[in-house]
Amino acid sequence: MSPEDDHDDEAPSPRPRVKSGPFGRVLLKISGEVLMGEAQYGIDMAMCDRIAGEIGEAAAQGVELCLVIGGGNIFRGLQGAARGMERASADYMGMLATVMNALAMQNALERRGVETRVLSAIPMVTICEPYIRRRAIRHMEKGRIVIFAAGTGNPFFTTDTAAALRAAEMGCDALFKGTGVDGVYDSDPKQNPKAERYDRLTYQDVLARDLRVMDASAVSLMRDNEIPIVVFSIRKRGGLGEVLAGRGVSTMIAK
């Protein structure tokens, strides 16, 4: 940790944030499966590098970015529990998988000259910083990309819930969920070629129709804090930049 970081958990500076587009501060949630690329398991560094490039371009445009990356490409707690593991232990293993993904993304970003910090909800000071809300805000104000790892630090909560929690804590203008499809559909578009994509939904639509965009606790938290959710395909080249600029194909979930 550099000397200047010793004071990064002090109160955030009072200067106002200036939006360079529709969104000034965004939390980007990336599913772990996206990092697999075309593989069946693990981290495809070519895919990681490509996504890092788009994140770096967004940051260069003045967007304050923080990230939450799932761990499903390495280990998923629910699946481990289904195979007979004790649920809390399985979830902790899933949290550790998110730390691995966070470090991979940090490496890809910093190879491009983008300054980052990984903050973990489970303290592991040898490899990353502990999560402290004010420190995270300070990092973003200084132009660093913050990657939140280890979920909420508690079992029985998904990384979707962790993303919603951090988006609320950071005062984000939106939560962007980057997936393998270009929005929210009424059924699985990979199995149903006639599935209908929604351009816009309310939080209540998602909850009442059980659309499974994010878990119910995450959607409810975003509703209570009036933070819109934008679902888009991060597999599409340039997709992140297009959606940040208010263009591109996506589904907006708001009140």
Exposure b/e, 42-79, CB count within 10 A at least 16 = b: ebbeebbbbbbbbbbbbbeeebbbbbbbbbbbbbbbee
* Residue 162 phi, psi dihedral angles, 5° rounding: -60, -40
Q: What is the pLDDT of residues 21-52, one digit of tens each?
A: 678 999 999 999 999 988 889 999 999 999 99
In a domain, 68, yes or no: yes
Q: Is the pLDDT of residue 255 over 90?
A: yes
Q: What is the pLDDT of residues 7-20, one digit of tens each?
A: 555 544 444 455 55
CATH number for the domain spanning 191: value is 3.40.1160.10
Q: Is the pLDDT of residue 4 over 70?
A: no
Q: What is the pLDDT of residues 133-145, one digit of tens each?
A: 999 999 999 999 9
Q: Domains in the chain: how many in total?
A: 1
Q: Is the pLDDT of residue 147 over 50?
A: yes
**DSSP 3-state of 231:** strand
Identify whether the C-beta of residue 163 lies closer than 8 Å to the C-beta of residue 18: no
Q: What is the pLDDT of residues 201-237, one digit of tens each?
A: 999 999 999 998 999 999 999 999 999 999 999 999 9
Alpha helix segments (H runs only) across 83-146: 87-110, 133-141
- In this structure, the strands spanning 251-254 and 229-233 are antiparallel
**DSSP 3-state of 179:** strand
Average pLDDT of the segment spanning 75-102: 88
In a domain, 13, yes or no: no
Domain span including residue 34: 22-254
Q: What is the pLDDT of residue 10?
A: 52
Identify whether the C-beta of residue 55 lies closer than 8 Å to the C-beta of residue 145: yes
- Within 10 Å of residue 140's Cβ, how many Cβ atoms? 22
* Residue 146 phi, psi dihedral angles, 5° rounding: -100, 130
The structure tokens listed for 207 are 């909850």
